[in-house]
Structure 1
């Protein structure tokens, strides 16, 4: 509950560019990011800045108003690590821009190799229908192996630990908060004495990782400065030795097969 002089419903908008930062304050630090087509509610606009809520996870922040456009119904989402938007259905055409995994698009028609959207043409092999959800969040996250680490990042151009987990879970139709402390509080049930399995989550203070198999983690981390696999025991010991503390929780999610 908050106190304010007035409350508004919020105007529906979406992001018009490949990726943008959600800021703590106008011109301030990055908190998280949103990508093309992200559904946003604008609550206030002032001096070229909009205070918005990302509808995917409820995260709020400031974004430059000129990066927003009228909301449109999306039909498809980019499910490859990244793709290109072309002015015509021709791979040799000069691309208009790059799009990240998770970008939402309105497909108008589908040809032999390209899908026509209201923004241009995208290889249809890089898209899936919005209602055709994935089933393994780790498989989704593994498409981002090698993506550079970026604190607060949520795209194929740069991503952090909680951004990676969120990318995987949202693709599977599972609600997921934006930050690792929120994820630890909201996701799954304690693993207890059970052995880890693919899809489990390991948490530290300020960090989260997927379990890829009984002996391996997948996470976006500063040690590799990228999304990478790392031995589970090796990671637990390394993180403790560098002074970031022990594992604070091990969680298991209920995943739809």
Structure 2
């Protein structure tokens, strides 16, 4: 098996090996993957973090050795806290964003294969999980990011991508999609019992989980719906004051971060 790492700020992962295919997710800078199959100029990959699968363009593939991949997979990595920042490789500056991985970061340098790169922005440590208040703070930094199906960045994010990246930056690895995320954590039975950092999940008419958001103070919710926005949550669902209507039907609330 062969392995790779993203050395670009974002790489689209597609449902099929074609540029016109649906974007199902994205690779962030510094994120490792294994290669499952090859079809023409396309690679089917599986992410080391959450085992999510998709197709990427061969031109955007950067190989790593198996030993590096195994070390990467078994380590916890610092994550970028700035909305936009630069990684320097000699004279080249690579733009990266919130949530990008900094493999084997020592406070100033990171390492990809035998290459050493420099980073001087804000980053989490790889040693501890952040508090619920810090999770909320990271989430609020994404406010007004545009909605993008399959997106995982401040320049375009979907509802589950927002939740996964916010928690991931803070040291909590969640699955990629909302229907997978709902299996994590402990149920909170009443909206009045929620705390900042809890997750609310929403279903369609068939009962399928289709949306997720991050709970804030005073029964407000941060979620990606057209943009990353703040609305009100009650026992029925998300109420959008500006549009005078409910946008999502509440199904269940889960607590990821214990007291």
- The residue aligned with 1:41 is 34
Compute the displacement of 1:25 (Å).
0.4
Any unmatched runs of 5+ in structure 1?
A: 1-9
11-20 vs 190-199, which deviates more? 190-199
Q: Residues 243-254 of structure 1: matches in 2 within 5 Å?
A: 246-254=249-257
Contact residue 16 and residue 37 of structure 1 kept, 8 A: yes
- The residue aligned with 1:5 is none
- The residue aligned with 2:206 is none
Compute the displacement of 1:105 (Å).
2.6
- The residue aligned with 2:59 is 66
Contact residue 37 and residue 45 of structure 2 kept, 8 A: yes
For residues 110-154 of structure 1, the C-alpha deviation after alignment (integer angstroms, 9 at most, x for no partner) is 5xxxx344464322x422332344333222222212222211101
Matching residue within 164, 184, 187 for 1:187:
184
Contact residue 221 and residue 233 of structure 2 kept, 8 A: yes
- The residue aligned with 2:101 is 104
Contact residue 43 and residue 56 of structure 2 kept, 8 A: yes
State the TM-score, normalizing by the size of structure 1.
Answer: 0.78
Matching residue within 220, 224, 245 for 2:224:
220
| Partner Cα separation in structure 1 for residue 105 and residue 51 of structure 2 | 29
Contact residue 134 and residue 173 of structure 1 kept, 8 A: yes
**SS state of the match for residue 214, structure 1?**
helix
Matching residue within 81, 84, 87 for 1:85:
87
For residues 130-185 of structure 1, the C-alpha deviation after alignment (integer angstroms, 9 at most, x for no partner) is 2344333222222212222211101122111101110122223323111111112x
Q: How many residues align?
A: 233
| Partner Cα separation in structure 2 for residue 109 and residue 170 of structure 1 | 19
| Partner Cα separation in structure 2 for residue 109 and residue 53 of structure 1 | 27
Matching residue within 10, 17, 20 for 1:19:
10
- The residue aligned with 2:160 is 162
CA 1:171–1:87 in 2, change beyond 3 Å: closer, same or farther? Answer: closer
| Partner Cα separation in structure 2 for residue 25 and residue 132 of structure 1 | 37
CA 1:245–1:254 in 2, change beyond 3 Å: closer, same or farther? Answer: closer
- The residue aligned with 2:232 is 231
State the TM-score, normalizing by the size of structure 2.
Answer: 0.78
Compute the displacement of 1:236 (Å).
1.9
For residues 179-214 of structure 1, the C-alpha deviation after alignment (integer angstroms, 9 at most, x for no partner) is 111112x12222113522111111112111110113
